[in-house]
């Protein structure tokens, strides 16, 4: 649940709670409190800090009565401006209505017992005990200052909602108790332990031969097929949450899995099995005059970290390529895909374990907070290389903040240039495919550049074809003069990755002007020329400074699977260490092995 929806969730649940009848409040409170009265934390506590209910919150009167009967000290919260403290009280004569018309203790002795039990309210909770409070942060600030106090939250069943985004300042209760369930806070995520485990696993992966690695990958592919129903159910939860949170349909498409896409993912793993294992390959060998024999050999990086957004296919693609090259992988996916990623990684780890291979060959960072992501980017002692996959903001953050070497994968403002010598019968379907087959991918075409000599002929055909699918076309004045259906383009349009049914169009006078325009606005991903002229094609392929340059083909082919690399780890738009779709070779480094016969340097 995104923070932008916290206010809406807060209002909705408060209304639901206020609508409860008195009998319902009493019945649910009794069921809830009866569980708490059996907690060792309550039985053993000397001091119990308890909230005073308001607005039909779970009633705490039975907890107060129990504490009095068992000689425990009682305290309740009192607000003073931006601060809240718990003060001791004995009975109702020690109370008066204070802030927000809630009963507060009148005493002056504040709780100093750091082993106290805190019984706390809240508006909403999730299954990880993340909490939405009333928006003032009183409990977060108080409990941050008293980290050793035990925390139990009381709520109704309907107050348990989907995933709540955890902010840095949020403090979770240890337990959430409702009338029908007890929800325990998950064990705190230990990032360093995860990275350390991956490092240890990498040392064993380096020793696996190709046959063993292939057998493991086949086992994983079979497990993914057998557990497809479980994976799709997890994905459905992520999609439901995404729609609830207002995610754009293009991004939901990236997140979505179905039987066809699962088949593609599984086939990707199987294809990796058929690929040549580069590890151990001799890149070069030579002899020195002093008799030394030197070989340069391909070796794994060790541990590869992947930070990516809500694209579950990356989870499996990254694993299969890393595993084949003897690398362990630590994955940090987006919060919107957490259930899917957990299901996929669980299936893969179980398959590896059944093959007597260290399951930490794949590790998932299940805490998707920004704080943990920032720490992950500093784990240089465990992670050998970091690869970001996602939007411009994510990639920029990783490049700027990481102390780990980064292979930069860029966003995809891809262009198609329709030359004066283009075959229009090729141009229209190529543009249609590149723009509309899948909107939310980095190899989709976002901008057209058209030679002025063919513009009058091709633009009406393109407008008709694209607008049938609801695609908005934005062009310069010359494009608008040809078709009244074209909207005005701004300078910003030519540099945008839309990931939507929008495309920009620019008319140019020559192939060289097209090259200049594309190089100015391109992200260095993929560009295409449609032409029957060899000289124009040669000028374009030599002049365009992008990772992939096409002649008479859709940019949608920029993909590791389509290039025959198997699943890809990403598409690099930098020039070091890899460029374009990154398959197995891009996930290896090299080392020199030198054989001598007693030589010493003079």
- Asked if residue 157 is part of any domain, the answer here is yes
Average pLDDT over residues 209-219: 98
- Answer with the residue of higher pLDDT: 316 or 5: 316
Percent of residues, the chain, with pLDDT higher than 70? 99
DSSP labels, 505-566: EEEESSHHHHHHHHHHH--SSEEEEE-S-HHHHHHHHHH--SSEEEESS-GGG-STTTTTSS
Reported as type and span, the H/E element at residue 275 is none
Strand partners, 70: none
The whole-number pLDDT of residue 388 equals 92
pLDDT at 74 over 90: yes
Respond yes or no on whether the N-terminal peptide bond of residue 577 is cis (omega within 30° of 0). yes
Show which of 165, 184, 203 is a domain's final residue: 184
- Asked if residue 247 is part of any domain, the answer here is yes
Average pLDDT over residues 510-539: 96
pLDDT at 370 over 70: yes
Structure letter (DSSP) for residue 403: S
- CB contact at 8 A, 26 and 58: no
CATH number at residue 423: 3.40.309.10
pLDDT at 4 over 60: no
pLDDT at 441 over 90: no
- Asked if residue 600 is part of any domain, the answer here is no
Cα–Cα distances in angstroms (integers) from residue 511 to residues 46, 49, 146, 581, in the given order: 82, 75, 68, 26
The Cβ of residue 285 has, within 10 Å, a number of other Cβ atoms equal to 11
- Asked if residue 594 is part of any domain, the answer here is no
> Do residue 365 and residue 267 come from a single domain?
yes
> Do residue 195 and residue 146 come from a single domain?
no
> Do residue 461 and residue 444 come from a single domain?
yes
Percent of residues, the chain, with pLDDT higher than 90? 82
The whole-number pLDDT of residue 120 equals 97
* Per-residue confidence band for 332, with pLDDT thresholds at 50, 70 and 90: very high
> Do residue 149 and residue 206 come from a single domain?
no
- What ranges in 19-97 are assigned the alpha helix state H? 22-36, 40-44, 61-69
The whole-number pLDDT of residue 2 equals 40
The pLDDT tens digits of the residues spanning 226-244 come to: 999 999 999 999 999 999 8
Q: List all residues 6 or more positions away from 63 whose beta carbon is below 8 Å from its beta carbon.
A: 33, 36, 37, 42, 48, 50, 119
Show which of 366, 401, 436 is a domain's final residue: 401
Host domain of residue 314: 191-401
The whole-number pLDDT of residue 563 equals 87
CA-CA-CA-CA dihedral for 585, 591, 595, 601, to nearest 10: 150
- CA–CA distance, 90 with 64 (Å, rounded to integer): 10
- Asked if residue 281 is part of any domain, the answer here is yes
The Cβ of residue 427 has, within 10 Å, a number of other Cβ atoms equal to 23
Average pLDDT over residues 97-103: 88
> Do residue 141 and residue 238 come from a single domain?
no
- Asked if residue 210 is part of any domain, the answer here is yes
> Do residue 146 and residue 292 come from a single domain?
no
Average pLDDT over residues 511-534: 96
Q: What is the mean pLDDT of the chain?
A: 93
pLDDT at 187 over 80: no
Alpha carbons within 13 A on the beta-carbon side of 464: 7
> Do residue 306 and residue 384 come from a single domain?
yes
> Do residue 439 and residue 464 come from a single domain?
yes
Burial bucket for residue 62 (CB in 10 Å: 0-12, 13-18, 19+): middle
Average pLDDT over residues 432-437: 97
- CB contact at 8 A, 565 and 583: yes
- Coil, strand or helix at 88: strand
> Do residue 159 and residue 290 come from a single domain?
no
The whole-number pLDDT of residue 459 equals 97
Reported as type and span, the H/E element at residue 194 is helix 191-205
- Answer with the residue of higher pLDDT: 338 or 251: 338
The whole-number pLDDT of residue 566 equals 64
> Do residue 153 and residue 204 come from a single domain?
no
Show which of 401, 422, 443 is a domain's final residue: 401
Strand partners, 395: none
> Do residue 205 and residue 163 come from a single domain?
no
> Do residue 430 and residue 554 come from a single domain?
yes
- CB contact at 8 A, 113 and 138: no
Strand spans (E) along 81-148 = 83-89, 95-97, 103-105, 117-120, 124-125, 131-132
CATH number at residue 310: 3.40.605.10
Out of 279-288, 376-385, 408-417, least confident range: 408-417
Burial 67-79 (b: 16+ CB within 10 A, else e): beeeebbbbbbbe
The pLDDT tens digits of the residues spanning 150-180 come to: 999 999 999 999 888 888 788 999 999 999 9
The whole-number pLDDT of residue 255 equals 94
Out of 185-199, 220-234, 293-307, least confident range: 185-199
The whole-number pLDDT of residue 411 equals 79
- Asked if residue 590 is part of any domain, the answer here is no
- CA–CA distance, 508 with 256 (Å, rounded to integer): 39
The whole-number pLDDT of residue 389 equals 87
- CA–CA distance, 583 with 586 (Å, rounded to integer): 6
- Asked if residue 588 is part of any domain, the answer here is no
CATH number at residue 94: 3.40.50.10420
The pLDDT tens digits of the residues spanning 295-315 come to: 999 999 999 999 998 889 999
Tally the domains of the chain. 3
Average pLDDT over residues 443-469: 96
Q: Per the structure block, which two tokens stand in for 422? A: 């283009």
Average pLDDT over residues 429-436: 98
- CB contact at 8 A, 551 and 541: yes
Out of 112-121, 162-171, 507-516, least confident range: 162-171
């Amino acid at each position: 649940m995104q923070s932008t929806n916290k206010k809406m969730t807060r209002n909705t649940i408060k209304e639901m709670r206020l609508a409860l009848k008195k009998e319902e409040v009493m019945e649910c409170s009794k069921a809830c409190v009866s569980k708490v009265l059996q907690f060792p934390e309550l039985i053993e506590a000397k001091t119990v800090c308890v909230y005073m209910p308001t607005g039909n919150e779970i009633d705490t009167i039975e907890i107060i009565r129990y504490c009095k009967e068992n000689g425990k000290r009682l305290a309740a919260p009192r607000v003073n401006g931006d601060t809240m403290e718990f003060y001791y009280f004995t009975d109702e004569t020690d109370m008066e209505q204070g802030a927000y018309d809630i009963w507060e203790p009148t005493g002056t002795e504040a709780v100093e017992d750091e082993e106290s039990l805190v019984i706390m309210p809240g508006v909403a909770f999730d299954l990880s005990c993340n909490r939405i409070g009333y928006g003032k942060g009183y409990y977060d600030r108080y409990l941050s200052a008293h980290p050793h106090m035990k925390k139990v939250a009381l709520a109704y069943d309907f107050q348990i909602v989907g995933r709540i985004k955890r902010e840095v300042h949020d403090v979770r209760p240890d337990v959430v108790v409702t009338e029908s369930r007890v929800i325990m806070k998950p064990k705190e995520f230990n990032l360093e332990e995860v990275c350390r485990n991956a490092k240890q696993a990498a040392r064993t992966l380096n020793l696996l031969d190709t046959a063993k690695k292939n057998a493991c990958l086949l086992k994983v592919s079979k497990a993914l097929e057998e557990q497809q129903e479980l994976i799709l159910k997890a994905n459905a939860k992520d999609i439901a949450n995404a729609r609830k949170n207002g995610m754009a349909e293009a991004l939901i498409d990236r997140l979505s899995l179905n039987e066809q896409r699962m088949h593609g993912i599984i086939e990707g793993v199987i294809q990796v099995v058929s690929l040549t294992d580069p590890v151990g390959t001799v890149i070069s060998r030579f002899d020195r005059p002093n008799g030394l024999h030197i070989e340069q050999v391909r070796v794994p990086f060790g541990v590869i970290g992947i930070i990516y957004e809500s694209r579950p296919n990356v989870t499996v693609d990254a694993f299969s390529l890393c595993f084949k090259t003897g690398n362990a992988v630590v994955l940090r996916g987006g919060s919107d895909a957490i259930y899917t990623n957990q299901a996929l990684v669980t299936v893969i780890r179980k398959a590896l374990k059944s093959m007597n291979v260290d399951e930490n060959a794949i590790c998932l960072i299940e805490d998707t907070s920004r704080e943990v992501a920032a720490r992950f980017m500093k784990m240089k002692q465990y992670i050998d290389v970091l690869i970001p996959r996602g939007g411009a903001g994510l990639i920029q953050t990783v490049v700027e903040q990481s102390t780990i070497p980064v292979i930069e994968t860029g966003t995809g403002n891809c262009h198609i240039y329709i030359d004066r010598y283009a075959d229009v019968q090729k141009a229209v379907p190529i543009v249609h495919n590149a723009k509309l087959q899948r909107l939310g991918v980095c190899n989709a075409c976002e901008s057209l550049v058209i030679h002025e000599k063919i513009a009058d002929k091709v633009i009406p055909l393109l407008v008709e074809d694209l607008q049938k699918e609801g695609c908005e076309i934005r062009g310069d004045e010359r494009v608008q003069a040809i078709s009244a259906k074209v909207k005005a383009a701004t300078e910003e349009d030519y540099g945008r990755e839309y990931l939507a049914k929008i495309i920009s169009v620019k008319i140019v006078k020559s192939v060289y002007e097209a090259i200049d325009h594309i190089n100015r606005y391109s992200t260095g991903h993929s560009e295409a020329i449609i032409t029957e002229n060899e000289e124009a094609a040669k000028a374009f392929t030599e002049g365009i400074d992008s990772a992939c340059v096409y002649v008479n083909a859709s940019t949608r082919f920029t993909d590791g699977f389509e290039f025959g690399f198997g699943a890809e780890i990403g598409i690099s738009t930098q020039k070091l260490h890899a460029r374009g779709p990154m398959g197995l070779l891009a996930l290896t480094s090299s080392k020199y092995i030198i054989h001598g016969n007693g030589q010493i340097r003079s």
